[in-house]
Every structure is written in structure tokens, then in C-alpha cells.
């Protein structure tokens, strides 16, 4: 069955969680909230040391030749520990695009560096409220890119971006070396995501081969969304467990608050949401190479967004006044759930995609 892990996948899940738990640093995470333009470099070094940057990339490109199920198990652990940067997902998106649509020269130049984590990638498809515009305002002509891609996750630190642009007649996918590109930093409530506007001014770019660039972009987004869904599951589960532990410790009116139906039933509901989201994410990852990629990714995103939003919110409420204090760190999950709900397309976008896929219409 697609929602069961084999022995090797269980080992990856267990070991990833053990490493993340051992190195979790809440104080660092709190500091990063107020440090605009920075990310957790130690956290990223750990990802590189563990080989997590190479998990889902082909062996000929320097990867481990595994798949989204294995990378998803790493993402669950990363979500529980509040990732110090978004690069695992963003770099995978760029490597996935180059591997499927790049020529041999583009692959040889970038895939090995992305697999090792020596270079960081960013995916820049969205414009304004539209995660996948039908006619992007960023233009590609004569090998040069012009225009602005707003609020690109990891854009502030990335070395390469894959961009959805318009060549005058149709949408195209291009890769661009960001070394000479202007980045306008965006201060947010979750600063470690490295969000920035990318301003292209006749920036040299290379065309990727895709007959239907927008469909190719949607499929890249879907594979990224599956990873993000796993990260959301990890965050939702952690928030639920924090609430459970508090309910089994805190007393009111002479008994543990977990004994009250209003509390224990809510935590039980959170457990249900987390497990439904986990099953959807795992099913989508296990069938990522099948014909229902888009449909499965949309279902995973919707379930995971609901689970993390609800779990982060309810965990804070169950803590009462102490839940909103800086020191407890519950707001870290509250911030991250909002960030992840927007990256790779928001809830409304994936709901539309799912409806269109079920109705047999092109998204």
C-alpha cells in the first residue's frame, strides 16, 4: 500500500527526527525572527552533511537516487523542528526542473552543486496573488530576462532561479544565474525564509525545453507542494504533541486540564487531522510519477494546510495566556504555518486545481 513505509524509509524517518531533535535550537529560531536577511547557516550545514540535499536527485547528478517518499520523511522532521531555511524544497524544485527540462550543459553545470548543497536554488513562478500566471509579466527575449518576480522564497540567498516568463507568444521556463540580479529584501514575520523580490534587467537566462511551460511549471510546483505538505505534517504533529503534553501537566480546579472533555476531544481531533494529512502526503509522494500527480499533490496540500493551521492555532489556545508569550515559542509554529500555507501556492489555488482536475479541465 502506498501509505506504508518500508524498513529503509522508516529508518530515514527515525534518524532524521533524531538528528533534528538533537540539534533543535529554539533560541536561534527566535533570534532569526528579528534578524532580517539571515538564515540558520548551521541548520543548512547539517542538511548538507546528512546528504538531505541529494535525497531525491538522480545518482548520475550526484544524488542518492531515492524519491519523494524518502525526502518527505526528512521534511516531516524538518517541519517538526522549524526549519532554519527553505532551501531543501526550493533547491529540489530547481534541480527537478533542470533534470527534466534542462540540456546536458545546464545539468552538468548545476545539478551536482545543488545535490551537494554548495549552491542554492529558488523557484520564481508566482506574481502577485497568482501562483501560476497564464501570461507572466516577466519577459524573455534574445536570451535575456526582464521584469520583477515578487516575494520569491529563498530568493535572497539563491544562486540560481527557475523562472516562468513570457516570450511574446507563449509562456516559457528559463533558468537564470542570480549572481548579477538585484534582490530586494522583504521583511516578514518569518524572516529565515529569505524572501525577496528578484529584479531582472536584461539578465542573461537560458531556455528550458518544455512544450507546455505552464503545465511543466504546475508539475514542478506539485512536486514541491508534496514536500511542503510533509513539512506541514511535521509541524502539525509537533504542535499537537506540545498541546498534549501541556494538557497532561497543567492543572485547573484540582485536576489536569486534559481530563476535561473540551480539551481532550480537541486534541483527539488534531490527531485525526494530522493522520489524514500524513496519509494524503505519503500517498502523493508514493505516486508522484503517476498520472494523478497534480490531483494527489493538491489533496495533500489542502489536508496538510488545514492540519497545520488548526494544530498551531488550537495548541496556542489550549495553553491559555502563556501560549502567546515569546519564550514558549508556540508562535514559531503559528508563523510557519502561515508561511507554508502560501509557499508553492495558497489553499485557494490548490482547491481550484483539484476541482479542475476532478472535472477533467486543465488547471
Query: What pLDDT, in 10s, does the model give residues 282-295?
Result: 999 999 999 999 99
* Residue 145 half-sphere exposure toward CB, CA atoms < 13 A: 29
- Mean pLDDT lowest among 3-7, 36-40, 180-184, 220-224: 3-7
Cβ-count burial 20-57 (b if 16+ within 10 Å, e if not): beeeeeeebbbebbeeeebbbeebbebbeebebbbbbb
Q: Any idea which residue has 511574446 for its cell?
A: 168
Asked if residue 4 has pLDDT above 90, the reply is no
- What percent of the chain lies above the pLDDT cut of 90? 94
| pLDDT interval class at 104 (50, 70, 90) | very high
pLDDT, average across residues 337-356: 96
Kindly list the distances between the CA atom of residue 304 and the CA atoms of 72, 117, 183, 268, in Å, as whole numbers in the listed order.
13, 27, 31, 17
Residue-range domains of the chain with CATH: 7-116 (1.10.540.10), 121-211 (2.40.110.10), 214-359 (1.20.140.10)
Please give the average per-residue pLDDT across 201-212, as a whole number. 97
Instruction: Provide the CB-side half-sphere exposure for 52 (13 A, CA).
Output: 30
- Residues 61-70 pLDDT 10s: 889 999 999 9
256: enclosing H helix or E strand = strand 255-256
What is the structure's pLDDT at 240?
98
- Residue 258 confidence (pLDDT) above 80: yes
The C-alpha atoms of residue 258 and residue 243 are separated, in whole angstroms, by 9
pLDDT score for 61: 87
C-alpha pair distances (Å), 178 with each of 14, 171, 182, 354: 36, 20, 8, 33
Q: Is the pLDDT of residue 363 over 70?
A: no
Q: How does strand 121-124 pair with strand 160-166?
A: parallel
Q: What average pLDDT does the chain have?
A: 95
The pLDDT of residue 2: 62
- Looking at residues 297-320, what average pLDDT do you find? 97
- pLDDT attached to residue 3: 73
Ramachandran class of 197: left when φ > 0, alpha when ψ lies in -120 to 50, beta otherwise? beta
Mean pLDDT computed over 189-201: 96
Closest CA relative to residue 306, chosen from 340, 283, 356, 353? 340
Which pLDDT score, from 0 to 100, does residue 361 have? 59
Query: For residue 282, what are the CA distances in angstroms to 78, 143, 232?
Result: 16, 39, 12
Give the pLDDT of residue 360: 78
- Alpha helices in the chain, H assignment, sequence order: 7-23, 26-33, 41-49, 68-80, 87-101, 104-116, 213-247, 261-286, 293-319, 330-342, 347-358
Interatomic CA distance for residues 139 and 168, integer angstroms: 7
pLDDT at 24: 86
Amino acid at each position: 500500500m502506498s501509505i506504508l513505509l518500508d524498513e529503509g524509509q522508516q529508518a530515514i524517518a527515525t534518524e532524521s527526527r533524531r538528528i533534528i531533535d538533537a540539534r533543535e535550537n529554539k533560541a536561534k529560531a527566535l533570534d532569526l525572527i528579528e534578524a532580517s536577511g539571515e538564515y540558520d547557516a548551521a541548520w543548512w550545514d547539517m542538511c548538507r552533511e546528512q546528504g538531505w540535499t541529494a535525497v531525491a536527485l538522480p545518482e548520475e547528478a550526484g544524488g542518492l537516487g531515492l524519491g519523494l517518499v524518502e525526502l518527505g520523511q526528512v521534511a516531516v522532521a524538518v517541519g517538526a523542528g522549524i526549519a532554519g531555511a527553505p532551501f531543501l524544497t526550493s533547491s529540489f524544485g530547481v534541480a527537478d526542473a533542470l533534470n527534466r527540462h534542462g540540456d546536458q550543459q545546464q545539468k552538468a553545470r548545476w545539478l551536482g552543486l545543488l545535490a551537494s548543497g554548495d549552491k542554492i536554488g529558488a523557484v520564481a513562478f508566482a506574481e502577485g496573488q497568482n501562483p501560476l500566471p497564464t501570461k507572466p509579466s516577466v519577459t524573455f527575449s534574445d536570451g535575456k530576462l526582464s521584469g520583477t518576480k515578487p516575494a520569491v522564497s529563498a530568493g535572497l540567498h539563491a544562486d540560481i532561479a527557475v523562472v516562468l516568463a513570457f516570450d511574446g507568444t507563449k509562456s516559457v521556463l528559463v533558468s537564470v544565474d542570480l549572481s548579477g540580479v538585484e534582490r530586494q529584501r522583504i521583511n516578514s514575520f518569518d524572516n529565515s525564509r529569505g524572501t525577496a523580490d528578484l529584479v531582472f534587467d536584461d539578465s542573461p537566462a537560458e531556455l528550458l525545453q518544455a512544450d507546455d511551460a505552464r503545465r511543466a511549471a504546475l508539475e514542478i510546483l506539485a512536486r514541491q507542494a508534496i514536500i511542503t505538505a510533509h513539512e506541514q505534517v511535521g509541524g502539525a504533529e509537533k504542535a499537537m504533541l506540545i498541546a498534549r503534553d501541556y494538557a497532561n501537566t497543567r492543572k485547573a480546579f484540582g485536576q489536569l486540564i486534559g481530563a476535561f472533555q473540551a480539551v481532550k476531544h480537541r486534541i483527539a481531533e488534531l490527531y485525526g487531522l494530522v493522520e489524514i494529512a500524513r496519509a494524503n502526503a505519503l500517498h502523493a509522494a508514493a505516486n508522484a510519477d503517476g498520472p494523478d500527480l497534480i490531483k494527489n499533490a493538491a489533496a495533500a496540500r489542502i489536508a496538510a494546510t488545514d492540519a497545520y493551521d488548526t494544530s498551531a492555532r488550537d495548541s496556542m489556545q489550549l495553553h491559555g495566556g502563556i501560549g502567546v508569550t515569546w519564550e514558549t515559542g508556540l508562535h514559531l509554529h503559528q508563523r510557519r504555518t502561515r508561511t507554508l500555507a502560501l509557499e508553492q501556492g495558497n489553499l485557494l489555488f490548490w482547491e481550484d486545481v483539484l476541482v479542475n482536475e476532478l472535472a477533467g479541465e486543465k488547471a
